[in-house]
Amino acid sequence: MVQPLPGPLAETLSLLYQYGYPALGALVFAEDFGLPVPGESALIAAAVSAGAGRLNVVAVGAVATAAAIAGDNVGYLLGRFGGRAFVHRWGRYVLLTPERFRRAEAFFARHGGAVVVAARFVEGLRQTNGIVAGAVGMPWKRFLAFNALGAALWAGVWTVVGYTAGTRIATLHRYLTRWHTFALAALAVTAVVLLVRALVRRRRRTRT
């Protein structure tokens, strides 16, 4: 049974509803070689949508994994053939400054393939790890193996988390709406109390 997606979440997912899996794949792919697009957010949103019955959860995970692997490999090729000169000239557009590149290079030298896996879960590194791996000369087959492992883990984790939330989206929305109402009420009461307190103090100072 397809559950309705309540509130602002329905608007957030409108792009995925309109273009489906190609939109998910394009956003994840583009993010993974440095473009400033919400690839991870799109994956989570798609997984929530799958949990609500609007997309297929297996397809979401598979599309995200494939797009992540492909995007990182584009980044690897850019770094490999462009080299350090490419990174120093264009890296600032994806927040990869020369100083950050030097730190990333040292990190790659110490930890190797494990960095490629872990980078999938770190904002900033997720978008640039392929470029750095190519620029520092990591062998492509080694990069491909660790990149595929990291992409599968990343897509799997967020697909499961999003899908689980999606199956309970109506309940979660009710709780969030309820607490949101309570929070607004508490803020309103606090604002009134502070206003009254300020007026009382002002009146006392005027009398004095």
Confidence (pLDDT) at 176: 47
Residues 6+ apart with CB under 8 A from 88: 98, 101
Maximum CA extent, the chain? 82
| Cα 86-22-121 angle, rounded to 5 deg | 55
Number of CB atoms found within 10 A of residue 36's CB: 11
Q: Which residues have a Cβ under 8 Å from the Cβ of 206 and sit 6 or more positions away? A: none
Residues 69 and 147 sit within 8 Å (Cβ to Cβ): yes
How much is the pLDDT for 201?
75
Q: pLDDT truncated to tens, each residue of the chain (208 aa)?
A: 444 554 445 555 677 777 889 989 999 999 988 788 888 888 988 898 888 888 899 999 999 999 999 999 998 998 888 877 767 666 666 556 677 777 767 777 777 778 888 888 888 778 888 888 888 888 899 999 999 999 999 999 999 998 888 777 655 555 545 555 555 566 666 666 677 777 777 777 777 6
Query: Is 29 buried (19+), middle (13-18) or exposed (0-12) by CB count in 10 A?
Result: buried
